[in-house]
């Protein structure tokens, strides 16, 4: 049995940001327009008026201050309220492949590895731009990696599920290295006209390079162990699959974008994740005192504070449990990897940390790593 290590990470960050204030101005303009267009129905009680959103609520409820997006103007246009990402020709790189390649190149550079030495690419993300050919195969071609590539989707847990998949292949000896890439174009599957969730997501792409530990050329993180779990729930759902028909038929289909029962998610996922991490740590033979860092899924600050406290048995310091959601918002599967990529270089040999993601499914995945 071989050992696997994370030898490089990369984060592609879009250039455009939307602050809570900008978002709320656009939403409120949209709500005013909606209310005036539907004034009669609202007065007759057959249509609900859209209340205003509030930047104070968004910050207090989620900890999010801003988000990066691939296209700001489309999202902030009250007549439109979704990003302008025109369809590309079949011979042009897809958006997911383009941003995934950027993140992957950073990971390869950090590890000092040539793309041709990579045996597998896994494109693990919440939503895929097309059904097939797999985005991962396109990324393989653009990067010039060897071997094979495939897509997978476990929503917000896609990165950790991808890391376990790659780790297991490296351990078994079927491959020596893999790139797990998470291009998350969340802005395209968020309903920006829904006050309850319009502030939640942002766009980003992350990449994690895993290699056989003996191949690592520089500082790296040995993967000590991984643990995955799923429990079916409809509380986070998006029905937009290949059975959708024309855009006209989708117009009134709220279920064709991200939907959630946020309160239930909050209540149900917290115990699930806390128990999962406790069991994983116990199985790995480590205690809270052994944990130098927690890189958690980035959906909600209160959720992370709760989980950090449960795991450590005390309030974690911002260094022990770094949050990036104030700047990036929820970036689905990429969140815990951004936190890891931007807050791990200071760990010293032998120090241990835990990456954990959770989300739709429900799904939860954790990876315990040790600095080497």
Catalytic residue numbers read 156
List binders of ligand COA among 311-340 (CB under 6 A). Answer: 330
CB nearer to ligand COA: pick between 125 and 142: 125
List 103, 123, 135, 156, residue binding ligand COA (CB under 6 A): 156
143 binds ligand COA (CB under 6 A): no
Size of site (CB under 6 A) for ligand COA: 21
Residue nearest to ligand COA (CB): 262
List 118, 122, 236, 337, residue binding ligand COA (CB under 6 A): 236
To the nearest whole angstrom, how small is the minimum distance from the Cβ of residue 269 to ligand COA? 6
Give the binding range for ligand COA (CB under 6 A) out of 52-60, 163-171, 219-227, 312-320: 52-60
List 145, 177, 300, 344, residue binding ligand COA (CB under 6 A): 300
List 22, 196, 215, 268, residue binding ligand COA (CB under 6 A): 196
195 binds ligand COA (CB under 6 A): yes
Spell out the SS3 assignment of the chain.
CCCEEEEEEEEECCCEEEEHHHHHHHHHHHHHHHHHHCHHHHHHCCCCCCCCCCHHHHHHHHCCCEEEECCHHHHHCCCCCCCCCCCCCCCCCCHHHHHHHHHHHHHHHHHCCCHHHCCEEEEECCCCCCCCCCHHHHHHHHHCCCCEEEEECECECHHHHHHHHHHHHHHHCCCCEEEEEEEEEHHHCCCCCCCCCCCCECEEEEEEEEEEHHHCCCCCEEEEEEEEEECCCCCEECCCCCCCCCHHHHCCCHHHCCEECHHHHHHHHHHHHHHHHHHHHHHHCCCHHHEEEEEECCCCHHHHHHHHHHHHCCCCCCCCCCCCHHHHCECHHHHHHHHHHHCCCCCCCCCEEEEEEEECCCEEEEEEEEEC
Give the footprint of ligand COA on this chain (CB under 6 A).
Answer: 53-54, 57-58, 61-62, 156, 195-196, 199, 236, 260, 262-263, 265-266, 299-300, 330, 359-360
């Amino acid at each position: 049995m071989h050992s696997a290590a994370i030898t490089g990470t990369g984060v592609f960050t879009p250039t455009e940001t939307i602050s809570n204030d900008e978002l709320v101005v656009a939403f409120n303009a949209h709500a005013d327009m909606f209310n005036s267009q539907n004034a009669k129905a609202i007065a007759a009680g057959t249509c609900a008026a859209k209340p205003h959103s509030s930047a104070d609520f968004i910050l207090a409820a989620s900890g999010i201050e801003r988000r990066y997006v691939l296209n700001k103007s489309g999202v902030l246009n009250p007549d439109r309220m979704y990003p302008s990402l025109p369809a590309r020709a079949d011979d042009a790189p897809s958006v997911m492949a383009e941003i995934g390649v950027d993140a992957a190149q950073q990971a390869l550079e950090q590890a000092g590895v040539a793309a041709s030495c990579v045996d597998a690419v896994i494109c693990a993300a919440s939503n895929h731009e097309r059904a097939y050919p797999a985005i991962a195969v396109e990324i393989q071609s653009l990067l010039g990696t060897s071997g094979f590539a495939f897509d997978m989707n476990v929503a917000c847990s896609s990165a950790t599920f991808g890391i376990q998949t790659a780790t297991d292949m490296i351990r078994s000896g079927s491959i020596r290295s893999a790139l797990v890439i998470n291009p998350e174009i969340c802005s395209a599957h968020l309903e920006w006209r829904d006050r309850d969730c319009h502030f939640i997501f942002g766009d980003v792409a992350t990449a994690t390079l895993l290699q056989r530990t003996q191949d690592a050329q520089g500082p790296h993180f040995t993967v000590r162990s991984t643990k995955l779990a799923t429990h079916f729930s409809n509380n986070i759902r998006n029905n937009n699959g290949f059975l959708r028909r024309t855009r006209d038929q989708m117009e009134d289909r709220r279920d064709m974008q991200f939907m959630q029962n946020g309160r239930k998610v909050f209540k149900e996922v917290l115990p699930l994740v806390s128990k999962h991490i406790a069991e994983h740590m116990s199985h790995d033979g480590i205690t809270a005192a052994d944990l130098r860092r927690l890189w958690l899924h980035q959906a909600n600050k209160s959720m992370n504070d709760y989980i950090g406290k449960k795991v450590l048995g005390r309030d974690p310091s911002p260094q022990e449990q770094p949050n990036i959601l104030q700047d990036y918002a929820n970036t689905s599967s990429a969140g815990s990897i951004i936190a890891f990529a931007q807050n791990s270089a200071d760990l010293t040999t032998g120090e241990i940390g835990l990456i954990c993601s959770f989300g739709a499914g429900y799904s939860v995945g954790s990876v315990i790593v040790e600095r080497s």
